[in-house]
Amino acid sequence: MKLTFVASSTTIVSHKNTKVLTDPWIIGKPFFGSWSHYPPIENKPDLINSVQYIYISHVHADHADEETLRMIDNKIPIIIYNFDSPGLKNRLESYGKTVLTLNHGEEFHCGDGLYIKIFIADDCNPEICHRHFGCGKMETKFRSSTIDTMAVFYNENETILNTNDCPFSLSEKTISRILESHPKIDLLLTGYSGAGAYPQCYEHYSDEDKLHLHGDRYRKLNLDNGGNFIKSVNPINYMPFAGTYTLAGKASRLEKFKGVHTVEYALEHFKKNYAGHGFLLNSWETFDISSGTQTKPYIEVNYNDREKYIEDVLSKVIYTYEKNPEPTLKEISELIPGAFNRFDKKRKELEFSSNTCVYIYLPENKMIRLPFNGEMYQIIDEEQFDKKNYVTYRLDSKLLLLILKGPKYAHWNYCEGGNHIMFSRDPDIYQRAVSYCMNYFHN
């Protein structure tokens, strides 16, 4: 088998005449334009359209970029996990794609003796998943709400394990299950970074704390996550990948505060601390598992050139929603009752109650006050903001309108990952249930 690296988590797995493209993001700027590649990726549509299948790990746009997908021939089937939520399948089918769904660990023959299995990160274990607010109380056994999957590609002699964005803490049982059937992993593709809003989008942190106190903590967490996969799997070869992106548009000012090491730093860290052969590939270069060789030596990114490119090019990107008309307070307010009902229903399903309130900034110096204890929401003046037990959300009102209209237009999780929301909170503690319930605050 061979692995051709394209960008971030986009690769091509090939064996004989069969090729599978993974998590396509090549030409677009996902998350409304806030994510970009650096260096810019050369587009090779003829090569991309020569694959027999596409595997997409989960719904996030850096793994399923619309512009890239629309470039790809609709005759090429897309393989995804059989998620309980049909959101990803519906979205892909709306582009005209043929979608094949696989159950947990189900084997699929891609051709020429190349097989794939897809595993949901939590191994469909409600007890584990509920710790991360996935299935738990509201769903039946063997159903999962987590979105992350990993894939095993294999032939008669060789195996590639692609862990994508899976958190190790959620995936230990899944990894053990995979190793029972595939004890020798010839190539592990493992994450090294985190693609969230922390710490760069937290307004109550100083620049110094973003860079060091919180940034150092998050960088270590992400390196430990990738390292735990290497330690657990003990692969012959491994490559850190996925979550490699550069912020564009207004969010480009946050780039230097991201809690992310460079991929080169991650490789050196892994080499010092774990066994196996680690390597990196530039775009469109290939690693041959059989020979253990790559087509060209890796050339490091010039980060001075990258900073100049951000300043000269990426900072000038206009987000798609910025072209929309400015909404009125009335337009937004009319959507709040339906969104609140959906949000509070999910809160009750989780049996979650807290004295924390979420405050969302609105036009005309107003805020929405969202309680998590069963009380009704309120629209208040900013001066009425009670600065204790709170989380604030500050975002463009044009984007807020899209979110409230529903996931067809925008979603909280998508916008957070795209660095379009600024947060503050007191106490400074991440409450997963608060964030999870907020994902349902829409119509």
Express each pLDDT in 220-275 by its tens digit. 999 999 999 999 999 999 999 999 999 999 999 999 999 999 999 999 999 999 99
Residue 126, H or E segment: helix 126-131
- The percentage of residues in the chain with a pLDDT greater than 90, rounded to a whole number, is 90
- CB contact at 8 A, 121 and 150: yes
pLDDT of residue 434: 93
Q: Is the pLDDT of residue 422 over 60?
A: yes
Q: Is the pLDDT of residue 287 over 50?
A: yes
pLDDT of residue 146: 66
- CB contact at 8 A, 198 and 214: yes
pLDDT of residue 125: 54
* Helix (H/G/I), strand (E/B), else coil: 253: helix
Express each pLDDT in 169-218 by its tens digit. 889 999 999 999 999 999 999 999 988 899 999 999 999 999 999 999 99
Q: Is the pLDDT of residue 130 over 50?
A: no
Residue linked to tokens 């890239």: 68
Q: Is the pLDDT of residue 136 over 60?
A: no
How do the domains of the chain map onto residue ranges? 2-316, 329-438
Question: What is the token pair recorded at 307?
Answer: 């900073």
Instruction: Classify burial at 259, counting beta carbons within 10 Å of its beta carbon; exposed 0-12, middle 13-18, buried 19 or more.
Output: buried
**Residues linked to residue 116 through DSSP beta bridges, in sequence order:** 108, 153
Arithmetic mean of pLDDT, 327-336? 98
pLDDT of residue 158: 98
Q: Which residues contact 50 (CB under 8 A, 6 or more apart)?
A: 19
CATH number, span 2-316: 3.60.15.10
Q: Is the pLDDT of residue 135 over 60?
A: no
Give domain 329-438's CATH architecture: 2-Layer Sandwich (3.30)
Arithmetic mean of pLDDT, 338-362? 95
Establish whether domains 2-316 and 329-438 are of one fold: no
pLDDT of residue 350: 85
Amino acid at 364: E
Question: What is the token pair recorded at 223?
Answer: 């390196």
* Angle (nearest 5°) at CA 23 between 185 and 235: 15
Task: Tell me what the pLDDT averaged over the chain comes to.
Answer: 94
Q: How far is CA 235 from the centre of its chain?
A: 24
Distances (CA, A) of 348 to 352, 358, 371, 373: 6, 16, 12, 9
Question: What is the token pair recorded at 375?
Answer: 């009380």
Amino acid at 195: A
Q: Which residues contact 417 (CB under 8 A, 6 or more apart)?
A: 31, 60, 195, 196, 197
Express each pLDDT in 91-116 by its tens digit. 999 999 999 999 999 999 999 999 99
* Helix (H/G/I), strand (E/B), else coil: 51: coil
